[in-house]
Amino acid sequence: MSATARLKRLMPTDIRALKGQAPVVVLTAYTTPVAKLADADCDVLLVGDSLGMVLHGLPSTLGVTMDMMILHGQAVMRGSNHALVVIDMPFGSYEESPAQAFRNAARIMAETGAGAVKLEGGVHMAETIAFLVARGIPVMAHIGLTPQAVNTLGGYKVQGKGDDAARLRADANAVAEAGAFSVVLEKVPAGLAGEISRELTIPTIGIGAGVDCDGQVLVIDDMLGLFAEFKPKFVKRYAELGKTAVQAVADYAAEVRARSFPAAEHSFFDEAGK
C-alpha cells in the first residue's frame, strides 16, 4: 500500500466526528477478498472474533486466539485502504489487567497496522479502556450482549430489559468517559438504545439495537446470505449468495460427471490441435 493510500484511511477520530453528522457504516471482514469488496462503502471494517464461528467452525468465540485475530487482521489490512480497521481482542487477552490488555493490544496493532481494537465490557472494563487510550491505543467498546460472556449471561439474550436498563446506561457512560471512540450496542431494546445514543457524545453502533443508533454493524456473511440456515432476527438479507453457490457447485459436479466440462474453450491444444 502506498503512502498516499494510507493517508486516505479513516481514523478513530474521523469515526467519532461522524456523531450527529452521518450514520456510521460497519461490516465485518475476515479476508483480503472480502475487505476489497466492502472497503469503499464502509467506514469501519471490523475483524470480529465471530470469525471463529463463521470461518473456523467453532461453537462460540471463546476458542479464538491472538494469532487468529492477527492473521485475519493482516489479511483485511492488505485488502483495504479506506475504512478504519478495528480488530477484536479475543477472550482471555485483556480481562486480567490493564497491563495485560496493553501488551496484547499493542501486539495486535504493531503486527497488523490496524487503527483500533475492540473489547467487550462496560463499567468493569472502564479502567482498562482508559489505560489503553492514555497509551495511544484507540478502543471501540462493546456492551449489551457480549458474546465472550455468553456463559454468564445465560445465552444470547436481549440485554437491558426492565430494571436491567440502568446497568446498560451505566456501562455506556462508563466506556464513553473512559475514552472509547465508539461503542457497539448488541441486542438492546430499540428505545433504550436510542436514548443511550442521544445521551452519549460518542457514536453508538447497533446490532439488533434499532434504527436510532449512530451506526450499524452486521456480519457480512449473514447479510450476504452465505449460510441460509442461520438468520438472527436483526439480520436483513441483502443477497442469497449461499443458494447461488450451492447451485453453482451442483452444476459444476453435474458437468464434470457428464464430461461436458472442461469444454474446448477451457482447454489447451498443441499445434496439431490435440
Taking only the tens place, the pLDDT of each residue in 100-121 is 999 999 999 999 999 999 999 9
Per-residue pLDDT at 143? 97
- What's the rounded Cα separation, in Å, for the pair 12 and 81? 14
Per-residue pLDDT at 232? 80
Q: Is the pLDDT of residue 173 over 70?
A: yes
Tell me the per-residue pLDDT of 183-222, one tens digit each, with 9 for 90 and over: 999 999 999 999 999 999 999 999 999 999 999 999 999 9
Q: Is the pLDDT of residue 3 over 60?
A: no
Domain locations along the chain:
3-239
CA distances from 38 to 43, 76, 181, 184 (A): 10, 10, 22, 19
DSSP state of 217: E
Going by the annotation, the residues of the binding site for 3-methyl-2-oxobutanoate are 49-50, 88, 118
- What's the rounded Cα separation, in Å, for the pair 168 and 94? 21
3-class secondary-structure state, position 184: strand
Q: Does domain 3-239 have CATH number 3.40.50.150?
A: no
% of the chain beyond a pLDDT of 90: 87
Going by the annotation, the residues of the binding site for Mg(2+) are 49, 88, 120
Q: Which residue has the higher pLDDT, 147 or 79?
A: 79
Per-residue pLDDT at 156? 78
Per-residue pLDDT at 233? 85
Average pLDDT, the chain: 94
Under 8 Å between Cβ of 89 and 69: yes
Q: Which helix (H) or strand (E) holds 186?
A: strand 182-186
The residues, ordered by sequence, that sit 6+ positions from 264 with a Cβ below 8 Å of its Cβ are none
Task: Tally Cβ neighbours within 10 Å of residue 257.
Answer: 9
Q: Which helix (H) or strand (E) holds 266?
A: none
Taking residues 12-19, what's their average pLDDT? 98
Give, rounded to a whole angstrom, the gap between the first and last alpha carbons of the chain.
44
Per-residue pLDDT at 138? 98
Task: Tally Cβ neighbours within 10 Å of residue 145.
Answer: 23
Q: Which residues are catalytic?
A: 186
Going by the annotation, the residues of the binding site are 49-50, 88, 118, 120
Tell me the per-residue pLDDT of 80-94, one tens digit each, with 9 for 90 and over: 999 999 999 999 999
Q: Which three cell numbers stand for residue 38?
A: 466492502
Task: Tally Cβ neighbours within 10 Å of residue 49.
Answer: 29
Q: What are phi and psi of 23, to 5 degrees?
A: -60, 145
Q: Where do the DSSP E strands lie in 55-144?
A: 84-88, 116-120, 139-144
Per-residue pLDDT at 150? 79
Model confidence band, residue 274 (pLDDT cutoffs 50, 70, 90)? confident
